[in-house]
Amino acid sequence: MQVLIIGAGGGIGQALVQYYHQQGARVQALSRQQVSKLPGHWLQVTDYTEASLQRIVSQLQQPDVVISTLGILHNDDFMPEKRLADLNWHQLQQTYYVNAVLPILLLQQLLPILPKKSPCVWAQLSAKVGSITDNYLGGWYSYRASKAALNMLLKTASVELKRTHKQLCLAAIHPGTTDTELSQPFQQRIAADKLYTPAQSAERIATVIKQLTAEDSGGFWHWDGSPLPY
């Protein structure tokens, strides 16, 4: 099996590379920086710009599975907004770009290497808080909205690509709260049994992917394999 991991430098990304490597898959990986502690694999460093991806795409092998872990919740400049008054252009723009715009442009740029006549899963990590139906707590404005936009973009692409890539499944997957840099500022409020290691999340994501077929394309999935509402 040929697997492409996008965002291989993050906690879940590294764990996915390790998991698939241990399973005997041929792993290719994209990351913004070199990752020296990953096991043997083919790594390309990219800034994810169109020019960079065009340079890389011709060097990639046709994948059976693509998993993108790209996403942002906070950085040195901002934290999730709790109130309407906290909204600001910079945070909205950055969050939408990383969580929604960049993933769909990655699909656009890498579409030429996706198989048209054999099964393939393109999985993008999303978040349960991106569910409009399931939003009962409010807050986290830009993160929630950007993940909802991501889900819609993937759903829309799945409708189009069913015509050209009949065995392709596009999937948004909620990995659960994982012990990574993204969740660290919020972990004190999470029960110990609800905070998962990157290795746990990687295995669960891979298990969900194994169960997906082309008929599931456009779906939004919980880490346990159950469907989530948009």
Give the mean pLDDT per block of 10 residues along the chain (230 residues). Answer: 94 94 94 76 86 89 97 92 96 97 96 96 97 95 98 98 97 85 57 74 97 98 96
From start to end of the chain, where are the E strands?
Answer: 2-6, 26-31, 42-45, 65-68, 120-125, 168-174, 219-222
pLDDT of residue 38: 72
CA 81 to chain centre: 22
Contact 115, 167 (CB under 8 A): yes
Amino acid letter, residue 182: L
Placement of tokens 């993008």 in the chain? 124
Per-residue CA distances from 94 to 90, 99, 117, 205, 230 (Å):
6, 8, 36, 26, 23
Q: In sequence order, which residues have a C-beta less than 8 Å from that of residue 137 and are 6 or more positions away?
A: none
Pairing of strands 65-68, 42-45: unpaired
Q: Which two tokens stand for residue 224?
A: 């346990």
pLDDT of residue 54: 87
What is the pTM for the complete model shown? 0.93
- For 148, the 3-state DSSP assignment is helix
Per-residue CA distances from 53 to 172, 203, 209 (Å):
22, 28, 24
- The number of C-alpha atoms within 13 Å of 215 and in the hemisphere containing its C-beta is 1
